[in-house]
């Protein structure tokens, strides 16, 4: 069991939970996740909570390799009105801000978010760790090499699991030295990884239990799934996502970051029934 302090409110993870993806962007890779307008974003958040989401992850920047880098100012314009309204509408839901900018993290937490989800693990903004520490919220540390635009150039590893474990030990130690108390780790499926490496990470996910931190798995509708199945795009990848979610749960995932909350909830319910048998 893990207990995370979110500005005085406790998030207890004693069984797998769901983080719903809400993109305040016009260009995220899965079109149905795009909610750049406040009203539609709030309605989607309400649906996610009704379907079983514990956390809503709100981001204002696409991180797929073909995306264009957005400024912190653009992110702020996109996410702050949505965070504010969701906080007012759904006071009990936990909100995560998906950003690698410290200034966006700070403004989002002040607007009502509860934790920071950083795809760069603090590598793209040197102020991130001290900012999150001052905010006293949990920090999601993902593994990525390079930037979202260059990451697929950096997929060379001598020993994938060992190198990611070393990365997490180093990075989370730096975060904790800066004053961050609660850290969640995310192996970064699809970020600086080949298709084969993505499957290897899911297969060996339990190796990261040695770090004694919650493990977040973000595989929802990603290209390694539909490419493996020779399907045209993310629209066809729900069944594949559910199949791999179950394998991730069996290998120790604590948080599923998903587009399709109801389907993920079914996976968790079946996993719990299987585990209790």
> Known catalytic residues?
222, 257
CA distance 237 to 232: 9
Q: At what angle do helices 102-111 and 128-135 cross, to 10 degrees?
A: 20
**What is the three-state SS of 13-68?**
ECCCEEEEEEECCCCCCCHHHECCCHHHHHHHHHHHHHHCCCEEEEECCCCCCCCC
Measured CA to CA, the distance from residue 218 to residue 256 in angstroms comes to 6
C-alpha dist (Å) from residue 264 to 67, 76, 199: 27, 29, 19
**Under 8 Å between Cβ of 86 and 56:** yes
Cα separations (Å) of 13 from 5, 135, 173, 215, 254?
Answer: 11, 21, 22, 11, 7
Secondary structure (3-state) at 142: strand
C-alpha count within 13 angstroms, C-beta hemisphere, residue 248? 31
């Amino acid at each position: 069991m893990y207990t995370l302090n979110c500005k005085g409110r406790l998030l207890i993870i004693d069984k797998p939970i769901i983080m719903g993806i809400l993109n305040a962007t016009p260009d995220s890779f899965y079109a149905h996740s795009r909610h750049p307008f406040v009203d539609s974003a709030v309605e989607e958040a309400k649906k996610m909570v009704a379907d079983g989401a514990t956390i809503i992850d709100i981001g204002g920047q696409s991180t797929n390799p073909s995306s264009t880098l957005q400024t912190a100012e653009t992110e702020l314009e996109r996410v702050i009105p949505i965070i504010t309204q969701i906080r007012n509408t759904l006071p009990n839901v936990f909100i995560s801000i998906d950003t690698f900018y410290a200034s966006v993290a700070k403004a989002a937490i002040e607007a009502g978010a509860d934790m920071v989800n950083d795809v760069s693990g603090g590598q793209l903004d040197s102020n991130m760790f001290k900012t999150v520490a001052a905010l006293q919220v949990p920090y999601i540390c993902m593994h990525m090499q390079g930037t979202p635009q260059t990451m697929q150039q950096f997929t060379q590893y001598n020993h994938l699991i060992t190198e990611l474990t070393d990365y997490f030990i180093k990075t989370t130690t730096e975060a904790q030295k800066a004053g961050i108390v609660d850290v969640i780790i995310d192996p970064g499926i699809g970020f600086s990884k080949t298709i084969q490496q993505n499957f290897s990470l899911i297969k060996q996910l339990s190796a990261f239990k040695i770090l004694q931190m919650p493990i977040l798995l973000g595989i929802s509708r990603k290209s390694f799934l539909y490419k493996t199945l020779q399907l045209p795009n993310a629209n066809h990848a729900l069944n594949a996502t559910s199949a791999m979610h179950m394998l991730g749960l069996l290998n120790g995932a604590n948080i599923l970051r998903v587009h399709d909350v109801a389907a993920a909830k079914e996976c968790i319910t079946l996993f719990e029934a299987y585990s209790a048998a």
